[in-house]
């Protein structure tokens, strides 16, 4: 994702200038990946900027930290306020928000206990994660030869910095081969998820997605899509999915905060359905964007408005 510099970054309770948001090279996170983070989007609406499911993201951050025995020195409410103030101070109408909690400067050995836990929030303008064209026309994916980490190795439910080394290996492989995104299989060989997105398949008008036990991140977009699909009368099944389900699906799409709803038009060069974006994908894509942009009633209380004079 290209970085579009903003004015301020929130670091441990203070707003510092963008270029002053620095940490020491001996910080634990740099050497051992000891950080947990979130990716959140703020959308421009008629009622000013709204942060989509902000509390849900901050609760997931708290849980990721809990798994790694990190005590965040701020409450969810404090982080929520800091995030909104950051949007205001940076004068942003829409943004990608990246809160990160990490082990800082202390000792240099894998043992993280006793190493101070710090928190920071970054917010900057961001366009389409997988490209403007891709969200419209769909992407080509490949099943990577790298497996998603096994359940008793790295906890997939924690959105931890170190997890993304696995994503990096997968991405480097498939991008080198000319694909846009990677699909990872879990330890048992079932479909897990993309490098930074959850996956949905459509077969005979039924929506399928892998369960938490397939080593997926419990995506907030995944949850939103399941709820919206049910509302539209679409049957949703959460179950183990074998690799070949990808080849015979009628439709496939990836979902995530950054990726939103991105259609997949081929897997391993095999066209998905007739190779065109399917109607259920389109329907959910439209519904999702209407919701996040505040164009439809917010039935679930997902929209957290940033009160500011910029409307």
Q: Which of 35, 49, 99, 196 binds ligand PPE (CB under 6 A)?
A: 196
Pick between residue 115 and residue 255 the one whose CB is nearest to ligand PPE: 255
Instruction: Report if residue 256 touches ligand PPE, rule: CB under 6 A.
Output: yes
Residues 258, 191: Cα–Cα separation, whole Å: 21
CB 109, min distance to ligand PPE, A: 27
By the rule CB under 6 A, 172 interacts with ligand PPE? no
**Residue 157 interacts with ligand PPE (CB under 6 A)?**
no
Quote the DSSP letter at residue 1. -
Q: Which two tokens stand for residue 75?
A: 């409450």
For ligand PPE, the closer of residues 76 and 258 by Cβ is 258
Phi, psi angles (nearest 5°) of residue 29: -60, -35
Residues 201-240: x where in contact with ligand PPE by CB under 6 A, - otherwise, as a string: ----------------x-xxxx------------------
Output the smallest distance, CB 194 to ligand PPE, in A: 7
Select from 270, 276, 224 the least CA-distant residue to 243. Answer: 270
Give the span between the Cα atoms of 225 and 90, in whole angstroms.
30
Measure the CA–CA gap between 61 and 55, rounded to whole angstroms: 10
Nearer to ligand PPE, 193 or 251 (CB): 193
In the complex, minimum distance from the CB of residue 226 to ligand PPE, in angstroms, rounded to a whole number? 11
Binding mask of the shown chain, residues 22 to 41, with x at each position contacting ligand PPE by CB under 6 A = -----------------x--
Distance in angstroms (rounded) separating the CA atoms of residues 155 and 163: 9
Q: Which is nearer to ligand PPE, 49 or 256 (CB)?
A: 256
The one catalytic residue in 62, 84, 159, 287 is 159
Q: Are 30 and 36 in contact (CB under 8 A)?
A: no
What is the DSSP code (8-state) at residue 195? Answer: S
The minimum distance between CB 113 and ligand PPE, in angstroms, equals 26
Six token digits for residue 218: 């419990």
> Beta strand pairing status for 8-11 and 117-124?
antiparallel
For CA atoms 273, 262, 2, 118, give the dihedral sign.
Answer: negative
The encoded tokens of residue 123 equal 């917010």
From the list 117-125, 194-202, 266-274, 280-288, the region that binds ligand PPE by CB under 6 A is: 194-202
4 catalytic, yes or no? no
Rule CB under 6 A: which residues touch ligand PPE? Answer: 39, 193, 196-198, 217, 219-222, 256-259
Task: Report, as residue numbers or ranges, the catalytic residues.
Answer: 159
């Amino acid at each position: 994702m290209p970085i579009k510099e903003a004015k301020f970054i929130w670091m441990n309770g203070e707003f510092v200038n963008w270029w002053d948001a620095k940490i020491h090279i001996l910080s634990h996170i740099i050497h051992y990946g000891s950080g947990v983070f979130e990716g959140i989007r703020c959308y421009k609406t008629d009622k000013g900027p709204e942060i989509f499911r902000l509390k849900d993201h901050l609760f997931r951050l708290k849980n990721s930290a809990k798994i790694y025995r990190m005590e965040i020195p701020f409450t969810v409410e404090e982080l929520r306020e800091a995030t909104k103030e950051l949007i205001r101070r940076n004068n942003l109408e829409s943004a990608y928000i990246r809160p990160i909690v990490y082990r800082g400067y202390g000792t240099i050995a894998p043992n993280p206990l006793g190493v101070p836990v710090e928190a920071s929030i970054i917010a900057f303008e961001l366009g389409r994660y997988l490209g403007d064209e891709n969200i419209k026309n769909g992407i080509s994916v490949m099943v990577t030869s790298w497996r998603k980490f096994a359940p008793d190795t790295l906890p997939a439910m924690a959105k931890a910095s170190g997890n993304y080394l696995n994503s990096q290996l997968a991405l480097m492989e498939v991008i080198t081969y000319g694909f846009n995104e990677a699909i990872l299989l879990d330890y048992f060989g079932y479909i897990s998820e993309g490098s930074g997105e959850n996956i949905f398949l459509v077969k005979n008008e039924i929506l399928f997605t892998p369960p938490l036990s397939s080593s997926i991140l419990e995506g907030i977009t995944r949850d939103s899509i399941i709820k919206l699909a049910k509302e539209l009368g679409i049957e949703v099944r959460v179950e183990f999915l074998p690799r070949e389900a990808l080849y015979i699906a009628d439709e496939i799409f990836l979902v995530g905060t950054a990726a939103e709803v991105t259609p997949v038009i081929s897997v391993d060069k095999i066209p998905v359905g007739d190779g065109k974006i399917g109607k259920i994908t389109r329907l959910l894509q439209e519904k999702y964007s209407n919701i996040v942009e505040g164009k439809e009633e917010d039935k679930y209380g997902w929209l957290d408005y940033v009160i500011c004079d910029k409307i």
